[in-house]
Amino acid sequence: MLIHRYDGEQELLRPLFREADDSEQQIDTYIDLGTVFVAEDDGEIIGHLQLIARDDTVELKSMAVAENRRGTGVGRALVRTALEHCRQNATRSLLVATAAADIGNLRFYQRQGFRMLRIERDAFEASTGYPGEIVIDGIPLLDRVWLSRDLSGES
């Protein structure tokens, strides 16, 4: 498996972006932005990670690993690459947001060194493209959790 910066048309990665965000409306607003890294195996793209810079912080806006390749370290390797990229660019902090309902993602990001930052209540509303009544692991999709990985002093 090889992780490298993606230089193709980001629109072509939409199926992976969809794995990370239920709102097509939201994906439209950011799919073309930022820097994208991909994990490639045997010529096939099996994962992506998108970084969008805002001042001296960077947001990990989207990431996903192909369903049949999850749990094999691809996501961890993508985050490691993102952290290296951020350190090289003197980024102070890497931010990520995920659903409070998604216990698996909360575990994944904390295992990669992220810490809880804040909660945005009722972030997943119909007005932002999230059809009501999405349930993850029995928990209604309502609130968004922001986590951060502090990189100051690490560059």
Ligand X SMILES: CC(C)(COP(=O)(O)OP(=O)(O)OC[C@H]1O[C@@H](n2cnc3c(N)ncnc32)[C@H](O)[C@@H]1OP(=O)(O)O)[C@@H](O)C(=O)NCCC(=O)NCCS
Q: What residue ranges bind ligand X (CB under 6 A)?
A: 19-20, 63-65, 70-76, 98, 104-105, 107-108, 111
Contact 75, 63 (CB under 8 A): yes
In whole angstroms, the minimum distance from the beta carbon of 144 to ligand X comes to 10
In whole angstroms, the minimum distance from the beta carbon of 43 to ligand X comes to 19
In whole angstroms, the minimum distance from the beta carbon of 120 to ligand X comes to 13
Q: Which is nearer to ligand X, 74 or 94 (CB)?
A: 74
Three-state SS at 82: helix
In whole angstroms, the minimum distance from the beta carbon of 126 to ligand X comes to 20
Q: Which is nearer to ligand X, 67 or 153 (CB)?
A: 67
Q: Which is nearer to ligand X, 75 or 86 (CB)?
A: 75
Contacts of 12 (CB under 8 A, 6+ apart): none
Q: What angle do CA 8, 74, 87 make, to 5 degrees?
A: 75
Q: Which is nearer to ligand X, 15 or 90 (CB)?
A: 15
* Sign (positive or negative) of CA dihedral 86, 91, 92, 98: negative
Contact 5, 49 (CB under 8 A): no
In whole angstroms, the minimum distance from the beta carbon of 76 to ligand X comes to 3
Residue 79 corresponds to which tokens in the numbers above? Answer: 């985050």
| Amino acid, res. 29 | T
DSSP, res 69? G
Q: Which is nearer to ligand X, 20 or 134 (CB)?
A: 20
